[in-house]
A and B are shown apart, each in its own frame.
Chain A
Amino acid sequence: MHPHKTINYTIRSERKKATMIFNSIPFAVFFSCFFILYWVIFKNNLKLQNLLILAGSYFFYGWWDWRFLFLLIGSSLVNFILGIYIEKTTNEKKRRLLLYLGMLQGLGGLLFFKYYNFFVTSLADAFAAINVHLNVHTLQLILPLGISFYTFRTISYLLDIDKNKIKPCTDWVVFFSYVCFFPGLISGPIDKAKLLIPQLENKRVFDNSQMTDGLRQVLWGLFKKIVVADNCADIANQIFDNYKNLPGSSLALGALFYTFQLYSDFSGYSDMALGFARLLGFRITKNFNFPFFAQNIAEYWRRWHMSLTSWLTEYVFTPLSIKFRDYGKAGLALAIIINFTICGIWHGANWTYVLFGFLHGLYFIPLIIKGTMNKKTKKGKPTLFPSLVELKNIILTFILVLLTNIVFRADSLTQVFAFFKHIFSTSLLSYPLFTNRISALTALIFSVIMLFVEWLQRDKEHALQLDSIKMKPVFRWSIYYAIGIIILWFGGSQDTFIYFQF
């Protein structure tokens, strides 16, 4: 393979970037000050509250790297103006042009920062396979934090205006705040304009029960992230880093720990994002609905990263399935496979993500053939134990997800195949090896506790929603203190969230 040249681009990494993550001291200080200013000082002035959201969000983002604020502000400005002009323009051609301009701006930035190196190296590798060596240049680029999330927000905003689903926002403070609203800026959820903009335009009311529940949701998110995800991460990293030296049984457990890590890391972040938004009087898009209890892969995707699934369904899958409707089930399968391949690529510039999405697309084929893709599981009163059929379906779906998570976690396709080769060997039946069994056991126990609590609370908005459960305040508070102590005592120490890289 021809060695690729790397140019030291001006925006190169010169220092370790420190993100103000939700479970950090800087964020605790920031949010406490913000909360007091927001509800005590500016409570009677909507305009000032929104300005504070804007300033606070830029401060939050600039903490990581202030230089990328220009990109965020520029993107907001372009889309704000385009939104207004798309609405005003009656000429269909001009309207299209403006829409494409907006999409080009959004997707162009995304393609450049996220996929440029991937495209040029893949192109060079493809030519190298036929013995043609291209002298390509790769760039040392930093991926702007949250770019995939805020770009999808702005694209959906323009598309919705174009389809007359919403009116453009004429208040720049509101629109800029919508694009950069800090609880969901870095890792989503990807809120649609029709949900968030009206909330920004209207006065927020301080509601005691909503505040308390917001705090509970934050606490549960912290538990999932710090106790479950971070402890599972230690074990999963250890196994994935040494997969060549470990038996198949250890690798299978590594995949299990990674699956728990991925879920508790991302859904923990989302719980915190939703909780913080509620503390500011907002209801943002729910991103997870206990996906490990899904009984088939379609249901899994209706419960996992729901804001992305909904976005892709509306703007990718639906138009594609309309286009391919003449081909019947084959057309539907093709639309699904394209949709999920795009979903995979959205996660990053690596063939592993392409394969990840493609496999998930393939998983839908049996459901399409049976015609059960859109069939929803009956929702009755939740029972303590699932039926045998439910349990079988849940386990099967979980195994499918677990297998694709190996692809998601791997650094390269070579590692994917090697990992699978190691797993599906005779050593799968051997005793698993760990360098630290107690940590593995701790991580496993907390993962099971998390799943158990979520199973019991699966008909609620989040696992710690205790409003409907009658109990004395002293018991309720004891639960909060107990979770707090568990977080301190058993907490892991990862510095970031998995989805920050996307």
Chain B
Amino acid sequence: MKYFFKRFLIFLIPVVLYVVLVIIIDPYNYFSTTNKVVNPDLKKSISNKISNPLYELVEFEKKPSPYVLLGSSQTGLLSPDIIKEYTHSQFSNMSYGGGTLPELISTFWELTKRTQLKEVYMGISFIDFNGSQYRNRITEALKIKNNFISYTFSKSALESTFLILKSIALNKKIEIGKPDMSEDEFWKYQLDVTANRFYTTHSYPVNYYASLKQIADYCAANNIKLVFFIPPSHVDLQKKVEEFKLQAEENRFRQDLNKLGDVYDFNYPNDFTKERKNFSDPFHVVNEGSRTVAAELFSPDKKGIAMLLKKTVSPANQ
């Protein structure tokens, strides 16, 4: 018996070493936000890409904010620092790359457990308004951050720790998720592959819409300002709706969103969305473009900013 236990303990030595390593590096700042063993920017550049929801949720738990943005990567481009210039409020952007409606919904309810929300901006595009997109990384992220063991032995912690160590050892920036193709090729890929994948599986999200309705009711009952906006995409992507004959569905999406609260639409053909240089790919605006969107969304008209893009959705203008 002693022999077995001895060998088993020896076998566990690398496991213990791994645990110590994760505690020291702490890729998601789970143990402490003041851990300076590893450069915080390096950690963020890697961990936030590996598991965006886990990183954001841990950060939010440490620094909860009553002002939040929810959505996918299109909303994720809106910088809280820029928004602060207009609102003087510290927003927390809880949008995730590849974010889905169920993730947005789960995040909202999770945040209500952490703080008393005051303003919630939800960026939802038609492409995300899809009943077939049921991926929900929030459940997994919450499970991981539930306790020390699940965090330490999670794939996210393992992968991030490995990449952070690799970056330090090689003294090299690690690129994660960067497409291995030219800008033009990637543009075409996003239109022909990514957009097609979403639209071919499009179905009306009956259950998710019911969940959004619950959120709207909760916000109304708890005096939380709820604003919906449809982030801009390039007209090339907008045309895909027509190609897949989903115009009626898209109109219904706008109308249904409007039933839940104020909706600002940035996604229609105009000078901005026709101009390719405003976009890094058909889905995402460049930094300067996101500043314009933030200005129009958060700056009250009285400040004199020309409203070039924002269009209020109401039953009248459908």
Residues of B close to A8: CB separation below 8 A: none
Nearest chain B residue, comparing its CB with the CB of A241: B134
**A433 at interface by CB-CB < 8 Å:** yes
> Are B155 and A489 interface neighbours, CB within 8 A?
yes
Interchain CB contact under 8 A, B135 and A206: no
> In angstroms, how far is the closest chain B Cβ from the Cβ of A38?
11
Shortest C-beta distance, B130 to chain A (Å), equals 9
Determine if A488 and B153 form an interchain contact, defined as CB atoms under 8 angstroms apart: yes
Q: Are A493 and B14 closer than 8 Å at their CB atoms?
A: no
Instruction: List chain A residues, Cβ under 8 A from B143.
Output: 493
Measured CA separation A25–B4 after assembly (Å): 23
- Residues in A neighbouring B1, C-beta threshold 8 A: 39-40, 43, 206, 208
The answer on a CB contact under 8 Å between B4 and A435 is no
Q: Is the CB of B132 within 8 A of A477?
A: no
Question: A435 contacts B155, CB within 8 Å?
Answer: no
Known A242-B132, A435-B133, A489-B155: A208·B201 in contact at CB below 8 Å: no
Are A25 and B134 interface neighbours, CB within 8 A? no
B contact residues around A490 at 8 Å (CB): 155
In-complex Cβ contact of B154 among A212, A238, A477, A488 (8 A): A488
**Complex interface residues of chain B between 127 and 185 (CB less than 8 A to chain A):** 132-135, 139-140, 143, 147, 149-150, 153-155, 158-159
With A25-B147, A488-B154 known as contacts, the answer to whether A493 contacts B140 (CB < 8 A) is yes
Q: Assess the B11–A477 pair: CB atoms within 8 A.
A: yes
How does the 8 Å CB contact mask read for A118-157 relative to B, with 1 for contact and 0 for none?
Answer: 0000000000000000000000000000000000000000
A149 to chain B minimum Cβ distance, whole angstroms, is 28
Query: Is A245 part of the contact surface with B, judged by Cβ < 8 Å?
Result: yes
Inter-chain contacts of B158 with A (CB < 8 A): 485, 488-489
Contact of B155 among A43, A212, A480, A491 (CB under 8 A): A491
Q: Are A245 and B201 in contact (CB under 8 A)?
A: yes
Does A416 lie at the interface of the complex (its beta carbon under 8 Å from any beta carbon of B)? no
- Is B203 in the interface zone, CB < 8 Å from A? yes
Within 8 A of A (CB), among B1-58: 1, 3-4, 11, 14-15
Pick the residue among B3, B150, B159 that contacts A489 (CB under 8 A).
B159
- Chain B neighbourhood of A481, CB < 8 A: 14
Q: Find out whether the CB atom of A25 lies under 8 angstroms from the CB atom of B150.
A: yes
Minimum-distance CB pairs A-B, first 7: A206-B1, A208-B4, A493-B140, A488-B158, A211-B4, A25-B149, A242-B132
A242-B201 in contact (CB<8A): yes
**Contact residues of A between 407 and 435, Cβ < 8 Å to B:** 433, 435
Q: Is the interface of A mostly helix, strand, loop or mixed?
A: helix
Closest residue of chain B to A39 (Cβ to Cβ) is B1
Confirm or deny: A387 has a beta carbon within 8 angstroms of a beta carbon on chain B.
no
Residues of chain A from 35 to 56 with CB closer than 8 A to chain B in the complex:
39-40, 43
Separation of A311 and B11 alpha carbons in the complex (Å):
40
B197 interfacial contact with A, CB 8 Å? yes
Contacts of B149 in A (CB 8 A): 25
Q: In the complex the two chains form, what is the Cα distance from A246 to B197 in whole Å?
A: 12
Is A436 among interface residues, defined by CB-CB distance under 8 A?
A: yes
Residues on A with C-beta less than 8 A from B139 are 493
Given known A208-B4, A212-B4, contact A245–B155 (CB-CB < 8 A): no
Considering only CB atoms, which chain B residue lies closest to A433 in the complex? B200
Using A480-B11, A485-B158, A493-B139 as known contacts, list a sample of 8 further A-B pairs with CB atoms less than 8 Å apart, ordered by residue number in A.
A25-B149, A39-B1, A208-B1, A242-B201, A433-B197, A433-B200, A435-B135, A435-B197
What's the Cα separation between A484 and B15 when bound, in Å?
10
Determine the chain A residues whose CB is within 8 A of the CB of B154 once the complex forms. Answer: 488
* Contact residues in B for A246 (Cβ distance below 8 Å): 201
What is the 8 Å Cβ interface bit string for chain A, positions 188-213, against chain B (1 contact, 0 not)? 00000000000000000010100110
Contacts of B4 in A (CB 8 A): 206, 208, 211-212
Chain B residues lying within 8 Å of A238, measured Cβ to Cβ, are 132, 134
B224 to A: closest C-beta gap in Å: 27
The residue of chain B having its C-beta at the shortest distance from the C-beta of A439 within the complex is B135
Chain A residue numbers with a CB within 8 Å of B153 are: 488
Q: How far is the CA of A126 from the CA of B33 in the complex (A)?
A: 64
B132 x A208 contact (CB < 8 A): no
- B11: which A residues are within 8 A, CB to CB? 477, 480
Cα A208 to Cα B3 with chains together (Å): 8
Write out the residue numbers on chain A whose beta carbons fall within 8 Å of the beta carbon of B133: 435
When chains A and B are docked, how far (Å) is the Cα of A208 from the Cα of B2? Answer: 9
Report A84 CB to chain B, min CB distance, Å: 37
Nearest CB on B from A92, distance (A): 50
